[in-house]
Structure 1
Amino acid sequence: MDLGLKGLRVLVTGGTKGIGLRCAEIFADEGASVSVCARDATGVTATVDALKAKGATAFGRAVDVSNAHALKAWVQDSAAALGGIDIVVANVSALAVADDEAAWQAGYETDMMHSVRLVNAAMPWLEKSGAASITLISSVSGREVDFTGPAYGAFKAALVHYAQGLAMKLAPKGIRANTVSPGNTYFDGGIWQSIEKNNPDLFRDALAMNPMGRMARPEEIARGVVFLASPASSFTSGTNLVIDGALTKGVQL
């Protein structure tokens, strides 16, 4: 299937590892130009170089997405480097799973407000695009109460609500907005690898909850993100795509 991504301009936050990296790579493989950001400057440089090696136009910068000024500057400079913006993917999370006030603050600034600020900063270019879409990465923790902290699940649920509102508001402008809710996703340098090493009992219990007997691979989530964001999914807006290997038990009506 041709996803219609050739020549489109894509921004991915948290684009140097895990789901974000695989999104950036797949967008590039499909012919899109890609800009990434992450806190790790070395990772950004390596990712941009790898995307360029694929023949893609690529740009990147080390950014703490909770810094509103830095995030906006990256969006503006990405638009200049790529020649516009058609698609944004908000992928960064603070992974604040503690049950304390600091977790609420971190989740608000990073999970929630980075998504809002990314959308707002990109809007002047999205409004000019003929294939504009917004995809926010939520989580199955936003669908049901689990072992993560209350702030993490609450903000992941809020992202779904926010995207639904954007979908309704922006539909007359031809701008789509959706969320993707991944289940447990394992990759090098990821949270589940850390838990496997440092809290093996929790890892064992979490793994046992997965009906498929394993956690997702980043590319399995990224393929859904890229499809949902692409023109091939042009009439899909206001949807929360759950990719969890049947982990969650709630029925999404």
Structure 2
Amino acid sequence: MDLQLTGKTAVITGGSRGIGRSIAEAFAAEGAKVAICARDGAQVEAVVQALKASGAEAWGAAADIADGPALKAFITQAGETLGGIDVLVSNASALVQGVRDEDWQAMFDIDMLGAVRSFEAAKPFLEKAAAANGDAAFIITSSVSAAEATGASAYGAMKAALIHYAKGLARENAAKPIRCNVVSPGTVLFDGGVWGDVRDNHPGFFAQMIKRNPTGRMATPEEIASATVFLASPRSGFTTGINLLVDGAISTRVNY
């Protein structure tokens, strides 16, 4: 299936590793131009060079998502450098599970405000793309933890807030048309990631988590990326305001 992304531009925050890098690679494989950011400039440059080596047009820069002006500057420069923004993916996360003041602040600054500030900076580009092509998209990476709670957690609460925010944006911008959707992964395994560290350092707990999932495994970053890119593509042109769970049925709730 042609996802109709050839020549379009996708901007991904937190795009240097794991799910974010896989999303960037998936957009590039569909013929899109790609811009990424992350805090580690060397990692960003390595991904950009890999994308270029695959034949994609790519650009990236180091940016601290918690720094509002720096994030806005990255989004603006990405749009100007690559000639617009058709798709924005807010993927960066503080990945903090605690309930200390600093845990809440980190999740708010990076996950929540990172999404809000990214969208506001990209909005003029998205509006222009939507007016010209009939479609633009904003995708937020949330988590199955938004609806699965075993205890108090800044992570789950802020991920839930992102879903609420996305629904409001979807309704506000539907007529433009700028679509806004959420992808909520379950457990995702890759080297250097949260579950990769658990596998390497806490094998007993890792085995328990594998047994919890009816599929008997965890997702790959590529599987999350595939869902993200399809949802962002014009092929999903009438899909907006949804929260797409990609969790292998580990969650028990029913989505209505």
Would you call these one fold, judging by a TM-score over 0.5?
yes
Counterpart residue type for residue 7 of structure 2: G
2:146 paired with 1:142: yes
Mapped partners of 1:101, 1:225: distance in 2: 32
Mapped partners of 1:94, 1:238: distance in 2: 24
Q: CA deviation at 1:54?
A: 1.6
Paired residue secondary structure (2:181): strand
Mapped partners of 1:146, 1:222: distance in 2: 27
* Superposed counterparts of 1:1-253, under 5 Å: 1-129=1-129, 130=133, 131-146=135-150, 149-253=152-256
Mapped partners of 2:12, 2:66: distance in 1: 15
- With over 3 angstroms needed to count, the CA separation of the structure-2 counterparts of 1:99 and 1:200, relative to structure 1, is farther
Mapped partners of 1:92, 1:116: distance in 2: 12
Q: CA deviation at 1:209?
A: 1.0
Q: CA deviation at 1:36?
A: 0.4
Q: Which runs of 5+ in 2 are unaligned?
A: none
Q: CA deviation at 1:164?
A: 0.3
Q: TM-score, normalised by structure 1?
A: 0.97
Mapped partners of 2:22, 2:6: distance in 1: 17
Counterpart residue type for residue 122 of structure 1: A
Q: CA deviation at 1:194?
A: 1.3
Mapped partners of 2:150, 2:143: distance in 1: 11
Mapped partners of 2:103, 2:211: distance in 1: 27
Q: CA deviation at 1:146?
A: 3.5
Moved more, 202-211 or 50-59: 202-211
Q: Pairwise CA RMSD of aligned residues?
A: 1.1
Q: CA deviation at 1:56?
A: 1.2
Q: CA deviation at 1:181?
A: 0.5
Mapped partners of 1:32, 1:103: distance in 2: 36
Mapped partners of 2:200, 2:40: distance in 1: 22
Counterpart residue type for residue 28 of structure 1: A
Paired residue secondary structure (2:64): coil
Paired residue secondary structure (1:23): helix
Mapped partners of 2:2, 2:72: distance in 1: 32
Mapped partners of 1:104, 1:30: distance in 2: 37
Counterpart residue type for residue 162 of structure 2: L
Q: CA deviation at 1:68?
A: 0.6
Counterpart residue type for residue 202 of structure 2: N
Counterpart residue type for residue 144 of structure 1: E
Q: Output one character per residue of 1:101-141: Cα deviation in whole Å (capped at 9) or x when no partner.
A: 21111100011000000000000110101221000000000
Counterpart residue type for residue 65 of structure 2: V
Moved more, 201-210 or 33-42: 201-210
Counterpart residue type for residue 37 of structure 2: C
Paired residue secondary structure (2:161): helix
Q: Which runs of 5+ in 1 are unaligned?
A: none
Mapped partners of 1:20, 1:239: distance in 2: 20
Mapped partners of 1:29, 1:226: distance in 2: 10
Q: TM-score, normalised by structure 2?
A: 0.96
Counterpart residue type for residue 197 of structure 1: D
Q: CA deviation at 1:199?
A: 3.0
Counterpart residue type for residue 73 of structure 2: A
